[in-house]
Amino acid sequence: MICQKRFSRSDLLKKHQRLHQKLSQEDAVRDENELSSAKKVDYSFIIENPSQLSSQPRDRYREPGTHPLLVGDSRLQYLDVDRATNKTPKARYAASSVLSPSYVAFSRPQDTMATTSELAANMDFSYFVQPWQDSLWVDSSQWFTPDFYDAVRETSHISDPFILQDDSMSLSAHWNWLGQYPAMPGSSTRVASNDDRTAPLVLAEISDGPESISRVNSPPNVPSREDGVAFAWNPSSKSLCQTHSISINASHPLMILHNPRFDILESTWIRVREFLKLETPGSENLIPPSLAVANVFLGLFFDRFYEQSPVLHLPTLLVDHLPSSLLSAMIIIGATYSRIRHTRRFSILMLDRARQNLQALIEADKSLTRHPETIYASSLLVYTGLWCGNKGAFETAEALRGSLVTYVRRLFQPKTKVADVAGSRVEDHWRAWATSEFKRRLRWYVFMIDSQFPAILNMRSMMSLAEVARWECPGDDAAWCTTSAPIWATLVKPLGSLSAPEFGIVFKALTNNRRADFTNLAPSVSAITDSISPWTQFLVLSCLASQALDWSHDWSVQVGSDPAMIQDTGSDCHQESLRIRDNIIGKSHCLPLVYAKADAFISASLKSWECYYGTKYSGNPIPDVAQSLVLYFQNASQILRGLVNIQLQTCVADLQDALGKGGANAVDESLGRLRVYFTNGYTNCVGAHQELPFESLDAFAKSVLETTSIMSNPTLQSATPYSIFGIFLNHVLQWAFLKSSPETLKSHLREHLRDMAFSYHGRGMSELSGILDFGLSSANPTVVNRDRSHLVLMQAAQNLALLGTWGASLNLALLLQLRAKT
């Protein structure tokens, strides 16, 4: 028997072969008596372009007996060739250096072994990027594999054995879907599509008229074609529909490694499913998973996400007593971290259902707005909506931020004192303190979500420093993680209580511009700075990020749309703005370094951040129970410091417009303003200079160091969402330098890159400096695509794809890909 299907990929061929073998085996078992003497059916397959199979760079599905596949980027295979030939890679600054595979992308982790069954069920993000080719950066349609588009579209042809396509057809369908029509190999005609979602890519202003609603629907979960902006959304777009149920086999690693500590009972799961029933007309179909799968997702929430939202007191937590809305939010986030196919779509659908039903409950019972656990559920739903990657969910979460902030403002004030623990009821005192601390931490978590808007999204926060100045800071992490009342009592007795200082006092102490030695600090200041937690330090830095955004917005309005036309450089307003900026820089530099040993790449740009106690934890090890909480806020602080620097060194709104946010007309205007900023210095953009300002070189250097640090450190990459936007904004800033800088500035930047590569050793630095050097070099006029800045966009997009746990990173990666096409 001959199967007529054709394949150009060996992995799809082998998978289809196994399908036929499985069907034949089932037939043999079913008809064992009749077919006992028959010969086994042999299937022959027709293969398109058989020569391509021998050179396929990635063969994910291997036959039994072959070596197991290393999960990692195939570009690393070239490095093995270099070692075999005794060639040592060296950083060069010629145009050809960046085109050798060893200098293109950061090292990908390849020390994880994976079997065929695991890869089929669990997507590894290294497969989102194409293997390196010399001309890959020229054609952005070749940057990603079909797996990337499957993740973005929330479908997967590989997971369904009856829906098999080759690479060319898959890529063709994707670009039809986005309104792009690349020429496929072996085809001389433009591929057409009957999909009602297909429309040309148009970079245009968003209209408020009826015509904006009648536009062709934007595909779900990607930046809209209409303006190429991440998170932009056409509200008339079709809703997502779930087509697959989520299941996890008993032999799956997630099931084997699952910790049942936070499992819920069957009765609780029935209650949650009742909460998730369809209440709002128009809601799409939601297929709840089994209890076992739900418990796996709950475990992943506490294992992977709790460190950035340490609100619930785990030692006294009774999971089955939590409200259904909160359990639903936890399951949604846990499903996101599972990385199982179809969980991205499942999470978005369950998020929408949980949000709608929770809102219905609040409308029926307004007292829920004073219920801390309900507010926590709302905060988790807002967080998920912001970063899940779905445009509709993002817009809804942005709107719900106002309600969430309102609820917290009216939440009952937590008790500031803990009763004396000398009595016999230590257990009661411990639980009372835990309840009070839970409310305190809940308020700060909502404040942290609100502060992500100025720190990441270039939007002002709703809560001010003055509003939270009287709030008590989060309590001691060691006491919070203590597993028993007697141990907690031993921590309380020496102090008399565990009440934390007010935030305004801590903010003033940490942002004092004095560069004093540690020994010269006032005793009261030392006592305050010694006792605060990394979360509090991060909150202080978040306030500075909000101040930096406010200054950046005010400054951009003062400079105007044409900085070269501003003549009054000595005005009082101008000087006052610079004074405010210098004050913010000084405060952020005075923040304490919250990790024991700074990474060599990042210490240069954050050296003054150590002025109070750069080695706080070097002589005082972090308790194991609190280590994950401490590490997350340390890593997030490190990345956020770089984002603050971007706000103070350039205008993020201009970076957004350069990518197309304001439409096609705004692109040239924003690039023109950036050119003036880079040539004359951002804060001195109204003047003229004969020499390149140090400010521009410093901003470029810090951006390179920040990017290298994040992509070379997996622990920094896990500090989402800050790591996602740290990679995005720093790469976009580098692209803007390459795109808009005059030739004189580019030559200075190349010299600066050489000095940095010499001073900062490491593979990541050599790779990124090689890419940037190639982009800054003179283009070959004979090449059709002479815009070498696209290489930086490709590097940024592929790095973002590798951080694909949260869909926001995929959105931004696709945004950069679309920008390179225009």
Confidence of residue 445 (pLDDT cuts 50, 70, 90): very high
CA distance 350 to 346: 6
For residue 260, the SS3 value is: helix
DSSP letter at 2 equals E
Task: List, for residues 423-439, the tens digit of each pLDDT value.
Answer: 558 888 899 999 999 99
What percent of the chain shows pLDDT beyond 90? 27
- Dihedral of the alpha carbons of 780, 784, 788, 794, in degrees to the nearest 10: -150
| pLDDT of 612 strictly over 90 | no
pTM of the model: 0.75
- Least confident range from 305-309, 322-326, 693-697: namely 693-697
The answer to whether residues 320 and 271 touch, using CB atoms and an 8 Å cutoff, is no
Ranges of H-type helices in 111-239? 116-121, 146-153, 167-177
CA distance 559 to 682: 10
At 279, list the tokens.
Answer: 């209440």
pLDDT value of residue 570: 44
Cα–Cα distances (Å) from 765 to 318, 351, 637, 736, 748, in that order, read 48, 40, 22, 19, 18
- Identity (one letter) of the amino acid at 562? D
Task: List, for residues 160-192, the tens digit of each pLDDT value.
Answer: 333 333 344 444 444 444 444 333 333 333 333
pLDDT value of residue 615: 39
Please enumerate in sequence order all residues whose Cβ is within 8 A of that of 616, keeping only pairs 6 or more positions apart, or say none: 530, 592, 593, 594, 596
Q: Over the range 546-564, which residues count as b (16 or more CB within 10 Å of their CB) and which as e?
A: bbbbbbbbebbeebeeebb
Q: What is the C-alpha R_g of the chain? A: 28
For residue 45, the SS3 value is: strand
Ranges of H-type helices in 720-759? 722-740, 743-759
Confidence of residue 286 (pLDDT cuts 50, 70, 90): confident
DSSP letter at 7 equals E
CA distance 506 to 433: 22
pLDDT value of residue 398: 93
pLDDT value of residue 215: 32
pLDDT value of residue 336: 94
pLDDT value of residue 676: 83
pLDDT value of residue 12: 54
Closest CA to 345 of 354, 358, 335, 356: 335
The answer to whether residues 138 and 119 touch, using CB atoms and an 8 Å cutoff, is no
Mean pLDDT computed over every residue of the chain: 70
Closest CA to 822 of 676, 673, 668: 668
Confidence of residue 143 (pLDDT cuts 50, 70, 90): confident
| pLDDT of 502 strictly over 60 | yes
For residue 4, the SS3 value is: strand
Q: Taking residues 89-104, report their average pLDDT.
A: 33
The strand pair at 69-71 and 112-114 is best described as antiparallel
The answer to whether residues 446 and 539 touch, using CB atoms and an 8 Å cutoff, is no
pLDDT value of residue 85: 30
- Least confident range from 219-233, 283-297, 449-463, 745-759: namely 219-233
pLDDT value of residue 572: 55
Please enumerate in sequence order all residues whose Cβ is within 8 A of that of 376, keeping only pairs 6 or more positions apart, or say none: 311, 312, 326, 442, 445
Q: Taking residues 209-228, report their average pLDDT.
A: 38
**3-class SS string, 53-122:** HHCCCCCCCCCCCCCCEEECCHHHHHHHHHHHCCCCCCCCCCCCHHHCHHHCCCCCCCCEEECHHHHHHE
CA distance 416 to 315: 21
pLDDT value of residue 477: 86
Between 9 and 285, the higher pLDDT residue: 285
Task: List, for residues 550-583, the tens digit of each pLDDT value.
Answer: 888 887 777 665 555 444 444 555 566 666 666 6
Task: List, for residues 355-371, the tens digit of each pLDDT value.
Answer: 999 999 999 999 999 99
CA distance 329 to 274: 15
Query: Cα angle vertex 661, ends 657, 665, to 5°?
Result: 65
482-491: long-range pairs with CB below 8 Å, 24+: 482/315, 482/625, 483/315, 483/625, 484/315, 485/426, 485/427, 485/429, 485/430, 485/431, 486/426, 488/426, 488/430, 488/433, 489/421, 489/426, 489/429, 489/430
Closest CA to 434 of 449, 418, 447, 413: 418
The answer to whether residues 124 and 114 touch, using CB atoms and an 8 Å cutoff, is yes
